[in-house]
Structure 1
Amino acid sequence: MGKSFLFAVWAGGGAVPPALSIVRALRERGHDVRVLADASLHGEVAAAGAEPIAWTTAPQGDTSDPAKDVIKDFEARTPLGEFARLRDRIVCGPAADYARDTLAELRARPADVLVAEYVLLGALTAGAAAGVPVASLVTTLYPLPAPGAPPFGPGFAPATGPFGRLRDRLATGLMTKPWAKGLPALNAARTANGLPPVASVFDAFGGADRCLVLSPRALDYPGRRFPANVRHVGPRLDDPAWAGEREPELPAGDAPLALVSLSTSFMNQRRPLERIAEALGTLPVRALLTTGPAVDPATIRAPGNVLVTATAPHTEVLRHAAVTITHAGHGTTVKSLAAGVPLVCIPQGRDQGEVARHVEHTGAGVTVGRRSSPRAIARAVARVLDDPSYLREARRMATEIAAETATDEAVTELESLATRTSTAPTP
């Protein structure tokens, strides 16, 4: 008999397709799935086979339109400014609003399991208040402090020796302090729903029954140790519905193919895209440059060997690609690695510097700065194409990811939580 799942997502760009991939898989197994989501996502939710439900008091955004983006992190001048916008506009600031909307839906139509993106602490608060099993989704590398690895954010290499471990302890302390400003709003949401306050925001992050990390364990550092509720369930490799399903048009010729993709949401990426296109114009390659929904492809100047298009199913393109040039968004990165394609990473912000560092650690790619010149970008691309070690390590990662995704562990974990609901005694 099918179970009932309520998902809670927000217009978070690349975080949306992995969550909706799980929604689609649950629907295919006969479960009832509803999704609380921004109105801008309702078409994608319906395409995944689920019922979309609008937030009523929580923030509503559209990352394809800079004017409607809730966070507007592209306006921040520093990484700390980017973080503060996420904390104050999604994670903690509107926690009471997310909790109110989620709890109202759970009371109107109970669910066996609540599944929420890990940053929606308000939605997770509602699940705890309603007494239903809760799963949080991490759609990138596990970002919370854990022994055996440097803190998430600065892009540090793994520590070696006592000085490296001291660096990690000090940096972890510095990285956790800014969260304190969000604690009053979060605890106000908790106490309003009958829950005790927490001593830190990290206690709330760790409160879910299951934390499902939709990232390859092989991409994280091998010595890292995780809390007991964390499960690495492998990446979701489906393309988003808006990317289309037809066979993509590829540039003519038989030169090595480069896939270029910087972000599905707006990050002021038009000029970086043009610098990449200019760099590829100096190399004996052909390239497919996808701008995504946030950039008009007609505004990108590109040489003749670079075909510019708004969208294309990356999974299909990667079957033919020799290299991916990307902002190191988690989705594009893991799809490339799953296809055995090495990367040139050009992080633009958010979690991308951290993802790029992990790619370098695997040996499957290189990183260049976001303001790098076309010449520097061209050198990096040539290096990855000419050195067979990058292809070898990318193929090794593809083998690891194939093993991790051989079964759908995310669905298995969620069905297990739902079964726990049905066997629990009636209160």
Structure 2
Amino acid sequence: MADVMIAVMPFAGHVAPLAAVAAAFVDAGHRVRVYTGRAYADRFAALGAEPVSWSTAPDFDELDLAATFPALRGRKGPRQLLANVEHLFVGTGAAQGDDLVAAYGERPWDVIVADNLSLGTHFAAERTGTPSVTVSIVPLSIPTPELPPPILPLRPAAGPLGRLRDRILNTALALATRGIQHAYDAQRAASGLPPTDAPLAAAWHSPDLVCASGVPQLEYPRSSWPVRVEFVGALAPTGSVRPEPPDWWAELPEDRPIVHVTQGTLNVDPDDLIRPAFAALGRQPVSVVATTGRAEAPDLPFPAPPNAFVAGLVDYAALLPRADVMITNGGWGGVLAALAHGIPLIVAGGDIDKPVIAARVGWAGAGIDLRTGRPSATAILRAWRRLSADPEYRERAEAIGRELRSHDGPREVVEHTMALVERRARTAPPAT
């Protein structure tokens, strides 16, 4: 039995996959603590893990980030991405590390496992000299000279001009993110850690092991990885706990295809995606199942067409086996859940990492990238007609689905982690 610390950024999209991982460690007989926000403490306690709450680090409400981080107010798109990274993910790193080191002082762990945006994990692992595992809950952002910057929604380019493009973009990105790099350097100093020549991009992944959600078919090809990477498929079937079936569930027609429209769980303005999807498909021979992303607020501020069914959240284990197409804002967990069922996608990625995810889905041939987070009804209708007319999208989605279904993600994270612990134990110097 190992003592395992799991660190989870307190967002619904982070908690769902790491909850599945925590449950797998508990089921395997390991002693598990989970460092996360108070809003999710009960969720992990119910799994048999011991919650450790953000204390020195500023706990926050994911539905109102600006209340804790005023610099995030009123930002969207690339400006939101950069502000989130600097103020939320980087700016809390030292305090997260302090919380974790305090927990280590109370009871040392054998290994720390964390989602890839938990920067404090890497500080804590470095300070305690313990092995760490990154569970990448989004597409891998490990940089390489062979590819454009991983945070940009660009496909690989070939030839001398393509390589020149990528060199220029990598240089420009380094200049654009100097403020974030300075913030990271300051957080290292606040943690009592020495300066490092490693770029910030390297700080989001453990040097020991990365367990990547997804499969290689959704990654741009590269010659090698600078760290050990193990793909583990999907980690959780849905982005939240299983809700009760909505009142209309029994009324869903059996003889019409279902198009699922999801606004995600972070930026949930229904005008961005649900409204134009209703306008596009309200007269089509389908049932449109839309989720607002808020269990406590399932209603919309505009009328739904007669063929639409609306809920805050829907149990994907029940919905996805019946769905024909998913229209999504590009959350990675939802994308993997759809592809695991062989469902082709229409992706409107507008914020954070979602444009990158949309680009990868389009590159993989498993769906259509609308290249905006606020598509028009015409764009959605055309994309839906393309998916319906071209079987290659579904065939590609089904091929990726077969690969995803060949994995048991949470169990594989446990296996890879314990193999790391055993390797470290064999190579550790003898005690004196």
Aligned to 2:92: 94
Which deviations, in whole Å up to 9, do the C-alpha atoms of 1:168-206 show, x marking residues without a partner?
121122223344323344334434545321123234335
- The answer to whether 1:383 aligns with 2:383 is no
The one-letter code of the counterpart of 2:325 is V
Distance in 1 of aligned mates of 2:93 and 2:3 = 24
| Aligned partner (choices 144, 147, 150) of residue 149 of structure 1 | 147
Q: How many residues align?
A: 425
Aligned to 1:318: 320
Q: Tell me if the contact between 2:58 and 2:68 (Cα under 8 Å) persists in the aligned partners.
A: no
The Cα shift of 1:66 comes to 5.9
The secondary structure found in structure 2 opposite 1:208 is coil
Matches within 5 A, 1:2-401: 2-65=1-64, 70=69, 75-79=74-78, 81-199=79-197, 200-223=199-222, 225-244=224-243, 249=249, 251-293=252-294, 296-300=297-301, 301-368=303-370, 369-401=372-404
User: Closer, same or farther in 2 for the Cα pair 1:419/1:245, shift >3 Å?
Assistant: farther
The secondary structure found in structure 1 opposite 2:431 is coil
Distance in 2 of aligned mates of 1:294 and 1:75 = 24
Distance in 1 of aligned mates of 2:204 and 2:410 = 27
Distance in 1 of aligned mates of 2:70 and 2:392 = 39
Q: Tell me if the contact between 2:81 and 2:351 (Cα under 8 Å) persists in the aligned partners.
A: no
Distance in 1 of aligned mates of 2:176 and 2:41 = 33
The Cα shift of 1:358 comes to 1.0
The Cα shift of 1:33 comes to 0.9
The Cα shift of 1:62 comes to 2.4
The one-letter code of the counterpart of 1:332 is G
The one-letter code of the counterpart of 2:394 is L
Distance in 1 of aligned mates of 2:361 and 2:18 = 23
The Cα shift of 1:119 comes to 2.2
Distance in 1 of aligned mates of 2:8 and 2:382 = 39
Distance in 1 of aligned mates of 2:214 and 2:358 = 14
Q: Tell me if the contact between 2:207 and 2:227 (Cα under 8 Å) persists in the aligned partners.
A: no
The Cα shift of 1:296 comes to 2.1
Unmatched segments (≥5 aa) in structure 1: none
Distance in 1 of aligned mates of 2:180 and 2:274 = 35
Q: Tell me if the contact between 1:347 and 1:370 (Cα under 8 Å) persists in the aligned partners.
A: yes
Distance in 2 of aligned mates of 1:129 and 1:56 = 18
Distance in 1 of aligned mates of 2:355 and 2:223 = 19
- The answer to whether 1:403 aligns with 2:406 is yes
Distance in 2 of aligned mates of 1:419 and 1:194 = 29
Distance in 2 of aligned mates of 1:336 and 1:72 = 34
Distance in 2 of aligned mates of 1:105 and 1:20 = 20
The one-letter code of the counterpart of 2:87 is R
> TM-score, normalised to structure 2's length?
0.90
Distance in 2 of aligned mates of 1:317 and 1:97 = 40
Distance in 1 of aligned mates of 2:44 and 2:67 = 19
User: Closer, same or farther in 2 for the Cα pair 1:27/1:87, shift >3 Å?
Assistant: same
Which region of structure 1 is more displaced relative to structure 2, 254-263 or 139-148?
A: 139-148
User: Closer, same or farther in 2 for the Cα pair 1:158/1:367, shift >3 Å?
Assistant: same
> TM-score, normalised to structure 1's length?
0.91
The secondary structure found in structure 1 opposite 2:22 is helix
User: Closer, same or farther in 2 for the Cα pair 1:365/1:167, shift >3 Å?
Assistant: same
The Cα shift of 1:165 comes to 1.4
Which deviations, in whole Å up to 9, do the C-alpha atoms of 1:196-236 show, x marking residues without a partner?
21123234335532122222221112335311333322221
The one-letter code of the counterpart of 1:122 is G
Q: Tell me if the contact between 1:141 and 1:215 (Cα under 8 Å) persists in the aligned partners.
A: yes
